[in-house]
Amino acid sequence: MKNRDVVEKIKAALPWAGLAMLLAVFGVAAARVARPAGAVADGRAVIRIAHWQLEAGIRQGIDAAARAYEAMHSDVRIEQILVPERVYPTWLTTRLIGGTAPEIIELVPNYDAARVARFFRPLGAEIDRPNPYNAGTPLEGLAWRNTFSDGLASGYHEELSDYYGVGPFTGSRCLYYNKRLLRELTGAEHPPANYAELEAALARLPEFNARRGTAVAGFAMHRASAMALFNDLLAAQMQRLGTELARGTGLPARQDELYAARLAGRWDFSRPELRAALENLRELSATFPPGFAQLGREDAMLAFVQGRALFLFSGTWDATNLAAQADFPVGVTRSITPGAEHPRFGAGVLGALASEDRSGSPAFSVTRDAAQAERAIDFLRFLTSEPGNRIFSAASGWLPSATGVPGPAGLEDLMVKGEGYPRGPALLGGADTNLVFSRHLARLTSPAGGVDAFLAGFEAESPAAMRGDLARSLKGAAEGVRRDDVAIAAGRVLATLGEGGAAQERRAQSQNEREAAMRALAGELMRGR
């Protein structure tokens, strides 16, 4: 009885202990940021870099690059500020508005454009110049933006028509697998090479579980990863449709063009390949754990490292954590989608994807009011240079962002794959459309549901949702154009004085392209009413 009382007291105290730890981390971060911008400690200028990457490796990678940079610049000290992801957006906004933000900040994806323009420095002029830290390497003499394996797409802000950050690592969605379980299940030492082999492995699980008295799931899954996987599968199987809807570019239509075309009646889910894509989602979801839509990322990670699932769909950012936590050998391969040769799910596919999800990294940006802005930009140059990025990747175990830097052991196959087709447009991404899809997802995945049950709700509600997403997108684009007009006009004046150069030309051209795209989408939106 006494032991039971002790256990109950410990259980009751656990939530408070977790809260205390969270507050302690937040307090340390707040104390470090409270130091005035550009403060000098032990005779050195301090450059603070804030981010939410608490996974194993990132802190060590930045530290290793920082120590190498400090060895070259004895008057500078680099400090990291680690903030939990759950509170990071609130922390970031509070620090920016309060004027206590650090010099370098990892931007939240899709952060408000007006705040980006207000609080962060555009880097358009800097990224057109060569990175001096690439001297003596194959990247010497190249414009800084041309030294990134993703073309610095992760740092470009479309609404603001400029570059607002750079990233030291890249991310790629991938499929982790339990090597021991896979060998026991299939006798194979290697992962599935294509979608048919993936289906074959999953089909063995019911008999495998019955024989062993286990309940191993095909995938360790949670709501967010399921939606990401569904979006990837749909995008792969919408390659042909996306190309049909493109405006003569030869590239798949963008998401907003996909929505506009749906409102104009140019496509719907009556197309056989799209119905097949939904059948694929339904069949695959049967291998997920029950109640996956109510699970979180931690639940999926725990299920995988405990050996309760064969696969984990995640990203390269989890590689170091999984290697440290699992007591079995963990394998990793590219995310697998149906190919054009698949007899049931290949009709909408043009060919193998050039890169399943080469998403880059959230941008590390320099705050506009940073007293040490030039030093901060210089550190980012080193961090993303060939030698600096090599140090970072080796110490962190994360994929590098600089072209030509080798990937960490075990992740080499997840580096950029240049040959292949681009993915199709993403159906899920607009907030309203995503919400409607989520609301009817149970109709698709439940044993009593099906494709027809799902479409009865989704097709009825999605047009209004797509219209709302399009209207919001057009409003944001219009605000961005108006905001940029003043800067472009000023740039043209500077150009007459011999200043500005290529960055101003690129910005003006991008503005023209945005305005043309806006007019086309607005026309589609009106016709779709």
The string of pLDDT tens digits covering residues 94-130 is: 999 999 999 999 998 778 888 898 999 999 889 999 9
CA distances from 434 to 158, 173, 237, 441, 500 (A): 22, 20, 18, 10, 41
What are the helix (H) ranges across 266-422? 272-285, 297-305, 319-325, 373-383, 386-396
Please list, in sequence order, all residues whose beta carbon lies within 8 angstroms of the beta carbon of residue 15, skipping any fewer than 6 positions away. Answer: none
**What's the confidence (pLDDT) of residue 525?**
63
Are 260 and 521 spatial neighbours (Cβ–Cβ below 8 Å)? yes
- Residues comprising the chain, all counted: 529
pTM listed for this prediction? 0.78
Q: How far apart are CA 166 and CA 509, in angstroms?
A: 22
CATH assignment, 172-252+285-358+419-423? 3.40.190.10
3-state class (DSSP) for residue 466: helix
Please report the pLDDT score of residue 33 as a whole number: 47
State which CATH number among 1.10.260.40, 3.40.50.1100, 3.30.565.10, 3.40.190.10 fits the domain covering 33-169+361-397: 3.40.190.10
Q: What is the 3-state secondary structure (H, E, C) of 339-351?
A: CCCCCCCCCCCCC
- The one-letter code for the residue type at 193 is A
CA atoms within 13 A on the CB side of 351: 7
The CA-atom distances, in angstroms, between 187 and each of 179, 183, 306 are 10, 4, 21
What is the reported pLDDT for 10?
A: 47
* Residue 38 to residue 184: CA distance in whole angstroms: 58
| Closest of 121, 127, 113, 118 to residue 501, by C-alpha | 127
pLDDT (tens digit per residue) in 121-179? 999 889 999 999 999 999 999 999 999 988 888 888 877 778 999 989 988 788 999 99
Q: Are 489 and 495 in contact (CB under 8 A)?
A: no
pLDDT in tens, 9-50: 544 555 554 555 445 544 544 444 444 445 555 778 999 999
Q: Which of 263, 242, 155, 253 is nearest to 517 (CA)?
A: 253
| Every domain of the chain and the residues it spans | 33-169+361-397, 172-252+285-358+419-423, 429-529
Q: What is the mean pLDDT of each run of 10 residues along the chain (529 residues)?
A: 48 52 49 50 86 88 97 96 91 93 90 87 92 97 92 82 89 91 93 94 96 96 92 90 79 86 91 95 95 92 96 90 91 90 93 59 87 94 97 93 88 69 85 94 94 95 93 76 62 59 61 63 62
